[in-house]
Amino acid sequence: MTHTPGPWFVDSSEKDTYVILKGLRYSDYVCKMSSENAQANAALIAAAPDLLAALECIVFEYQLDQAVIPDYVTAAIAKAKGC
């Protein structure tokens, strides 16, 4: 499973909040939200590619040091990748 690479952005109007994925062929946004938590949820969604990349860097560093990778790190990466 693959995802649209980042960066992703948040765009808000008075009524709606959108998560913007630049470069999509048919649409520039993947998610439209109108709830009271929309801005916070959109920010978390937009940060997802960066968060995944950060976790993968942590795993790489742990492997270089031959350290044990915490289960929550590998679980988060698997969840992000749909495994």
pLDDT score for 54: 94
Which residues, including other chains, have CB under 8 Å from residue 73's CB and lie 6 or more apart? Answer: 55, 58, 59, 62
Ordered mean pLDDT values, 10 residues apiece, the chain (83 residues): 75 78 61 79 88 93 90 92 84
pLDDT of residue 25: 58
Instruction: Give pLDDT, residue 29.
Output: 60
Predicted local confidence at residue 32, as pLDDT: 77
Bridge partners, residue 33, by sequence: 17
CB 31 within 8 A of CB 46: no
In the prediction, which pLDDT does 16 show? 79
pLDDT for residue 3: 72
Domain segments of the chain as ranges: 8-80
